[in-house]
């Protein structure tokens, strides 16, 4: 395992210790979240009783393979906590960019149905300003996506329709496309959040503001638990 994976695993293992028997747990998506699901699988084999709500088909498959019971928001509309990764985490606010893995819509729905969102990451994900290294993924309906893209460009974004490995548009679990929007960097995340929400054809976007309850960050000097300057709103 390379050094970065060791950090991801350290953050994931710390987060999984917060999970208690009887909890309904949101299961994130991505390489860091996948370490948390592995660790949860080990705890389930040792007798931990939880129900997982997956944020993607990929995560659902992994959880099933490890024997973690999974369910949906239809049966459990309120979760105790969600453990998920992030692409960028803003120092202080712990606001996020998520969705590089393409699961942002379900990730946001699950996170907002939970009482706590625990973000796990290696220290390279911390930024002073969002949009420094990653574009904001914006999920759009395929019908007329070009019109939505034009509006995103008018908001100042450099846009790119995300392609899958087959060079065709990447299709999310919800059957939508993703337009990656680079604003490098984002000066006013809350204003941008409002503007993105008003673009017709946009289903959801990867700015997760005021949602993080704790960020568990692993670095070369150990694991730190960060809390946002303002409490999260769920």
102 binds ligand A5P (CB under 6 A): yes
Under rule CB under 6 A, which residues in 35-94 are in contact with ligand A5P?
A: 84-87
Sign of the alpha-carbon torsion through 19, 223, 11, 105: positive
Among 30, 114, 189, 201, binds ligand A5P (CB under 6 A): 30
Distance CA 176, CA 143 (A): 9
Tell me which stretch binds ligand A5P (CB under 6 A): 27-35, 167-175, 186-194, 220-228. Answer: 27-35
- Give min distance, CB of 220 to ligand A5P, in A: 18
Q: Catalytic pick from 20, 38, 88, 107?
A: 107
The verdict on whether 88 is a catalytic residue reads no
Q: How would DSSP label each residue in 129-185?
A: STTSSSPEEEEE-STTHHHHHHHHHHTT-EEEEPB-TTSSBP--TTS-EEEEEE-SS
Provide the minimum distance between the beta carbon of 113 and ligand A5P in the complex, in angstroms, as a whole number. Answer: 16
Per CB under 6 A, the list member of 19, 63, 103, 136 interacting with ligand A5P is 103
- Helix residue spans in the chain (DSSP H): 3-16, 31-45, 57-65, 104-112, 145-154, 189-197
100 binds ligand A5P (CB under 6 A): yes
**Part of the chain binding ligand A5P (CB under 6 A), chosen from 61-69, 98-106, 158-166, 178-186:** 98-106
CA distance 128 to 137: 19
Structure tokens at 105: 């819509």
Q: Are 87 and 99 in contact (CB under 8 A)?
A: yes
Quick check: 6 binds ligand A5P (CB under 6 A)? no
Residues that bind ligand A5P (CB under 6 A): 28-33, 84-87, 98-104, 107
Which residues does the annotation mark as catalytic? 107
């Amino acid at each position: 395992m390379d050094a970065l994976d060791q950090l991801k695993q350290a953050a994931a293992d710390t987060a999984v210790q917060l999970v208690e028997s009887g909890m309904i747990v949101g299961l994130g998506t991505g390489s860091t979240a996948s370490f948390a699901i592995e660790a949860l699988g080990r705890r389930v084999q040792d007798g931990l009783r939880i129900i997982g709500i997956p944020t993607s088909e990929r995560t659902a498959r992994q959880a099933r393979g490890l024997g973690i019971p999974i369910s949906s928001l239809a049966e459990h509309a309120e979760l105790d906590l969600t453990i998920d990764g992030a692409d960028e985490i803003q120092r202080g606010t712990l606001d996020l960019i998520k969705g590089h893995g393409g699961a942002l819509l379900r990730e946001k729905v699950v996170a907002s149905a939970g009482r706590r969102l625990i973000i796990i990451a290696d220290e390279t994900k911390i930024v002073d300003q969002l949009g420094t290294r990653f574009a904001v993924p914006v999920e759009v309906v395929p019908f007329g996506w070009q019109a939505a893209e034009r509006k995103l460009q008018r908001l100042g974004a450099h846009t790119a329709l995300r392609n899958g490995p087959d060079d065709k548009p990447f299709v999310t679990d919800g059957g939508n496309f993703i337009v990656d929007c680079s604003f490098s960097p984002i000066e006013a995340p809350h204003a941008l959040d409002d503007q993105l929400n008003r673009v017709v054809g946009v289903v959801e976007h990867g700015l997760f503001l005021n949602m993080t309850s704790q960020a568990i960050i692993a670095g070369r000097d150990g694991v730190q638990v960060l809390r946002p300057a303002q409490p999260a709103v769920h």
